[in-house]
Amino acid sequence: MAVAAQRAVSRNDPCPCGSGRRFKDCHGSLRGDAPAVPLPPRPVRRSRYRPAGEDWASLDEGEQDRLGVLMEVALAHQRAARMREAESAYRAVLEQAPRTHDALHMLGVVRLGLGDFPDAERLIREARALRPSYPAIETNWSLVQRTIAARDRSGVEILAEHALPLLCARIAGERSAVPSKADDAPQPLHVVGVAGEATRDAVWVSRRIGELLSGLQPTAWHGDDPAAATAWQGFDSRLIDPAAGRQPAAGDVVLASLECETDSWLREPLRRVLVFVQAMSPSWCLERLRRVAADGKRPVALVFTSRTMASRFGVVDYVVPPPIDLAEFMQAGDADRAPSSVLRVAAVGQDGRRVIAASDAVLLQTAAEQAGELRLFDPGPLRYSLGSLPAVRCFSRREIDIGGMLRGADVYLHRALPWWAEDSGRALFGAMAQGMPVLCPRESLYAEYVDDGVDGFICADGSSALAAIETLRADRARLRAMAEAARAKAMRLFEPRALANAYASVVEQWRIAA
């Protein structure tokens, strides 16, 4: 809108100095007789933005122009997800004209995006008072109200987080009261998992646990909607259908995921259940564990994939490494493709379990610009904030698998999420197996598997992750050494025979102990 005015003065236009002569005969003269007085600074851009209200009416034309341009600049920043820049431009407008409803409104939206709900509510309320029943303001007003209500509900998760160890302690306490079955003949073993799309985390975990326990010759079951899939991907499992009498009959039950539905078929209270726990939101964990444990009546033991995860539940029954399949990640990356000034950083947007908000977009943006290339798998809402950056390459999970995306990368950035929003570590450990150092937040469930400075970096915050990227970008020899260490560790942790033994021995220990 202001671009036309930004162009150079045409040679036939009146001279901006106000002399009344044409530009080419005055300051624009090519004959060397231009006036010695320098041309007065001309407003670089003009803006048509003129809101109603006393604030603006009292300003002179030049100031109105300046603020109008600022508003346009702010809006452009906001659209490009440069929230901090947008904020300072809106604030500059409000300093001169504090009753500019558009600036109050849009600054409120920016603050909402940055997570400052009270400030957002205050700003949009003020805008609303200045400009009643304006549809856009009303829309964002109801958005801020709903967001605040949703935040209040998320207090439930915090409460559930504290309740988890209490419930687990109760389950553990009840376990000793179960009569021993040591004298009985060996019980049949049932493994129950989730069927569905291969991209989904719980489905992948189910299949892997089925494979790792296959030496124990269990019967594999899935309980999902029959329309969703026929069986575990690449694994022969039966559909649980209690109405037709098809369900795990007597014997011990291994749940490959807490996502498995159990209410319809798991009825005998004294039946032993072993659960391979994947992190899910604390309230889900609570509800599922409570049901599986029949409110404490049924003996339940839990298997975790890290000690950190076990500590969140307050019990350490069994800990095994995540069920990573090295065969998925055996192809080495194409080490020579990128110029040596570029570090190819890989990250995952969503993990096939939940739609994750783009909370760390600013860090990812900085990482992309600093490293030179960010490869983003299943970007989800990150497409909005990062999609137009030249350094970002997005990969849909529908077109490529995670191993394929990792193949073109040098280093893997594990995003900092609440512990219960982390996936089962498939990308993190897959990256190590493929020969990539990993950048792992200190709070991650899997940080205990990373040796800081050896096969990855443990990052206290975003800026230490950026420092690690810079280190690896500048020092190729270090990158290669750490890559080799990462690969060696993955080969050791997930060596197929050893991993299968670890999983099988957990199940056998449990059957003896219970």
Partner 1 sequence: MHVWQSHLGENVAFDPLYHTNPRHEIMSFLRDPPGTVLDIGCGGGMTGQLIKHKFPGTPVIGIEINAHAAEHARQHLDHVVCAGIDDVELARDAPGYVVSTVLLLDVLEHIYDPWRALQRVAGWLVPETRVLASVPNVRNLATLSELAGGRFEYAPNGVLDITHVRFFTRSSLRDLFEQTGFEVRGLEPLTQPALIDPVIVHRRPGRIETRSLGIQYRSFEDLEDLYALQYVIDARSRGAARAAA
Q: Which of 384, 452, 478, 505 binds partner 1 (CB under 8 A)?
A: 384
Stretch that binds partner 1, among 77-85, 233-241, 339-347, 431-439 (CB under 8 A): 77-85
**Does 390 sit near partner 1 (CB under 8 A)?**
yes
354-383 binders of partner 1 (CB under 8 A):
354-357, 376, 379-381, 383
Rounded CA gap, 240 and 203, in Å?
Answer: 16
How many residues in total does the chain contain? 514
The C-alpha angle with vertex 421 and arms to 415 and 423, in degrees rounded to 5, equals 75
The token duo for 232 is: 């575990």
Stretch that binds partner 1, among 91-99, 120-128, 223-231, 310-318 (CB under 8 A): 223-231
For the chain, counts of helices (H) and of strands (E): 17, 13
Rounded CA gap, 339 and 79, in Å?
Answer: 31
Could you say which DSSP state residue 300 is in?
E
Q: Which of 306, 385, 424, 444 binds partner 1 (CB under 8 A)?
A: 385
Stretch that binds partner 1, among 85-93, 174-182, 278-286, 293-301 (CB under 8 A): 278-286
**Does 30 sit near partner 1 (CB under 8 A)?**
no
Stretch that binds partner 1, among 10-18, 214-222, 283-291, 439-447 (CB under 8 A): 283-291
Q: Which of 27, 344, 353, 489 binds partner 1 (CB under 8 A)?
A: 353
Rounded CA gap, 486 and 434, in Å?
Answer: 8
Residue number, 15 or 258, with CB nearest to partner 1 = 258
**Does 421 sit near partner 1 (CB under 8 A)?**
no
**Does 478 sit near partner 1 (CB under 8 A)?**
no
One-letter amino acid for residue 268 of the chain? E
Rounded CA gap, 364 and 374, in Å?
Answer: 8
Residue 22: Cβ within 10 Å count: 16
Residue number, 168 or 285, with CB nearest to partner 1 = 285
Q: How many residues lie near partner 1 (CB under 8 A)? A: 57
CB of 307 to partner 1, least distance (A): 26
**Does 8 sit near partner 1 (CB under 8 A)?**
no
Residue number, 15 or 106, with CB nearest to partner 1 = 106
**Does 143 sit near partner 1 (CB under 8 A)?**
yes
Comparing CA positions, the residue from 228, 479, 467 lying closest to residue 363 is 467
97-116 binders of partner 1 (CB under 8 A):
113
Residue number, 150 or 249, with CB nearest to partner 1 = 150
CB of 250 within 8 A of CB of 187?
A: yes
DSSP H/E element including 478: helix 476-493
CB of 153 to partner 1, least distance (A): 7
Angle of helix 462-474 relative to helix 476-493, nearest 10 degrees, comes to: 110
Cα end-to-end distance, the chain, whole Å: 74
CB of 193 within 8 A of CB of 266?
A: no
Q: Which of 44, 129, 136, 498 binds partner 1 (CB under 8 A)?
A: 136
Radius of gyration of the chain (CA): 30
Rounded CA gap, 502 and 190, in Å?
Answer: 18
**Does 199 sit near partner 1 (CB under 8 A)?**
yes
Residue number, 154 or 463, with CB nearest to partner 1 = 154
Please name the residue ranges forming H helices in 196-302. 201-212, 282-292
**Does 50 sit near partner 1 (CB under 8 A)?**
no
Q: Which residues of this chain interact with partner 1, rule CB under 8 A?
A: 1, 3-4, 75, 79-81, 113, 135-136, 139, 143, 146-147, 149-150, 153, 196-197, 199-200, 224-225, 227-228, 259, 261, 280, 283-284, 287-288, 352-357, 376, 379-381, 383-390, 392-396, 398-399
